[in-house]
Structure 1
Amino acid sequence: MTVKSGVMGCAALCGYLIAGQALGDCTPVLMSGKDDVSVCKDWPAYPGLTINVEARFEPGGAKALDTYDLDLSVSMNAQPYQIATYHQPAAIVLDGVALRELTLDTARYKLTSDVRAFGVRASLSNGSRLIPLEENQLSLYVKEGEKLRPVLHKLVVYRYGGEWDGNCVGERYETSRTVELAKTSSYGYADLIVKTHETSTSSVGEGDACENKTTTYKPVLTTLRYDGESYVLPKGFKGD
């Protein structure tokens, strides 16, 4: 469940979200700032535990970008205290985009026989009609004692963008990625297999003579390997 400025957030993200993201019965923290966001979800892999995320908006001023500080925690459903926490200042940087939604991903990220990760997905967009940009980033966290630790940083699982004249002429692209666990491992953590689907569309002409040409590229498989601290992302896979 998500709360933004005391109001329910946007509709659930589109089909590129993988299974395990039904809303839970928990109650998100009520945030004080109008742009703050809070999310919570019961963790199916560990009955009795709830994952909580609080994102606090920090205005950047005249010479700096706006950001969000991120606080994550895991709590017992029937208890008010937190059993594991993580804090990251300026976790989300708003460089020409706005944060539209945060969601919790509790798919089966079983990285070792006894370690499961959970995901936080950030949906960003610039709201532009002529130069649109939409992006969804996935980060994974594991619980280690009383701490939560990030192991995957801002993998771009969806991106849409382009530029056009508002009538016909222009170019657009769309990239979507899915994540699966590999049978191989690195430094004890399962490798991640990322499948990338890409399309590009170009438009030419005017009015009824406008023609679109869409190219769908062959899916590409990429293996992400853990280096002892986090999964290494190739160039172009990581969000800002």
Structure 2
Amino acid sequence: MIKYISTFIFFMGLMAQAQDLETLERDLKHKIQYTDTTFYSFDMKIVKDLPNRAVAVVAKFSTPYEEDGFDCKVTVYTVDTTTKKIVGQYVFPNTFTSDAIELSTFQLDFAPYQLNSKTRAFGVRWSYSSSSRVSPYGESYIALFILKNNQPTCILPQLQTSESQGDWDMQCKYDGKEIKRLLLMAPTQNNGYADLIVKSQTIIRTSRQPKNEEDPCIEEELRSPYQKEIWIFTEGKYQKLDTKKSAKK
């Protein structure tokens, strides 16, 4: 019985949080005058270890929307969940463009990016992809933020997490390459924040026509060993550690 009561209380808590988030979203959209024709995307979440704070990532068209392309500016907002006031914001300095390589919507990432015992980062993710079946292409990115005096502070402006490209003859012949990057927290620290480990792997995929054309295409995949980079927090943001300079010291 106690188990069922605990489960019921847990789900009731989730429902209440969802209702609170819905109210916050509606209120923020009203404040920024959000409409489907003037904004490209909207994502909002309550900060897990700061229930009195929510963050939102919002992309607004900076040029008129056209099916073959548009530009947008992206803002990260901090909202007080009690007063529903905007208490901080960060505007990405660059303009994002969607054209033949289509831009995805912007999404918040609340994976456990624990930088120290008191500080947890959150991510903003976006990607690009082509619609070509003959020459497929895609790339994805993440930026990391912390809340500093309620202000969303960018500590990792842009890290490419994947890239893929290929050539296909619409039959059997295919040559493709993909690079995947995994972001991990290291046990070591610099300037009070955990170092970041970026593990990358290259995947080569090929496909060829068999001697007997009635047989399936001959597919092959080759994965490289993982390569590792260390990124350290210095001068207010994460930067890749230059291993050559470190070795000379």
SS of the aligned residue for 1:47 comes to coil
Task: Check whether the contact 1:101–1:124 (CA below 8 A) recurs between aligned residues.
Answer: no
**Normalised TM-score (structure 1):** 0.76
1:224 aligns with 231
Identity of aligned residues (%): 23
Which one of the candidate residues 131, 153, 173 is aligned to 2:135? 131
Q: Which deviates further from its counterpart, 142-151 or 52-61? A: 52-61
Which one of the candidate residues 179, 186, 208 is aligned to 1:182? 186
1:111 is the counterpart of 2:118: no
2:52 maps to a residue whose letter is G
**Normalised TM-score (structure 2):** 0.74
Question: In 2 relative to 1, CA 35–174 (structure 1 residues): closer, same or farther, beyond 3 Å?
Answer: farther
Deviation at 1:127, TM superposition (A): 1.6
Deviation at 1:50, TM superposition (A): 1.1
Alignment of 1:155-234 (within 5 A): 155-205=159-209, 207-208=213-214, 210-233=217-240
CA distance in 1, matches of 2:170, 2:241: 34
Give the structure, 1 or 2, with the largest relative contact order (CA under 8 Å, sep 6 or more).
Answer: 1
Deviation at 1:66, TM superposition (A): 4.2
Task: Check whether the contact 1:71–1:88 (CA below 8 A) recurs between aligned residues.
Answer: yes
Task: Check whether the contact 2:166–2:175 (CA below 8 A) recurs between aligned residues.
Answer: yes
Task: Check whether the contact 2:174–2:207 (CA below 8 A) recurs between aligned residues.
Answer: yes
1:43 maps to a residue whose letter is V
Task: Check whether the contact 1:181–1:191 (CA below 8 A) recurs between aligned residues.
Answer: yes
1:102 aligns with 106
Structure 1 residue runs without a partner (length 5+): 1-23, 236-240
Structure with the greater alpha carbon radius of gyration: 2
Question: In 2 relative to 1, CA 170–179 (structure 1 residues): closer, same or farther, beyond 3 Å?
Answer: same
Structure 2 residue runs without a partner (length 5+): 1-16, 243-249
Task: Check whether the contact 1:67–1:91 (CA below 8 A) recurs between aligned residues.
Answer: yes
Deviation at 1:109, TM superposition (A): 1.6
Question: In 2 relative to 1, CA 198–60 (structure 1 residues): closer, same or farther, beyond 3 Å?
Answer: farther
1:85 maps to a residue whose letter is Q
Task: Check whether the contact 1:184–1:191 (CA below 8 A) recurs between aligned residues.
Answer: yes
Question: In 2 relative to 1, CA 196–153 (structure 1 residues): closer, same or farther, beyond 3 Å?
Answer: same
Question: What is the number of residues matched between the two proteins?
Answer: 209
Task: Check whether the contact 1:68–1:90 (CA below 8 A) recurs between aligned residues.
Answer: no
Q: Which deviates further from its counterpart, 135-144 or 73-82? A: 73-82
Question: In 2 relative to 1, CA 233–128 (structure 1 residues): closer, same or farther, beyond 3 Å?
Answer: farther
1:221 maps to a residue whose letter is K
Deviation at 1:143, TM superposition (A): 1.5
Deviation at 1:91, TM superposition (A): 4.3
Task: Check whether the contact 1:171–1:201 (CA below 8 A) recurs between aligned residues.
Answer: yes
Deviation at 1:234, TM superposition (A): 8.1
Task: Check whether the contact 2:106–2:126 (CA below 8 A) recurs between aligned residues.
Answer: yes
CA distance in 1, matches of 2:95, 2:120: 22
SS of the aligned residue for 1:150 comes to strand
Question: In 2 relative to 1, CA 137–171 (structure 1 residues): closer, same or farther, beyond 3 Å?
Answer: same
Task: Check whether the contact 1:192–1:225 (CA below 8 A) recurs between aligned residues.
Answer: yes
Alignment of 1:67-78 (within 5 A): 67-78=71-82
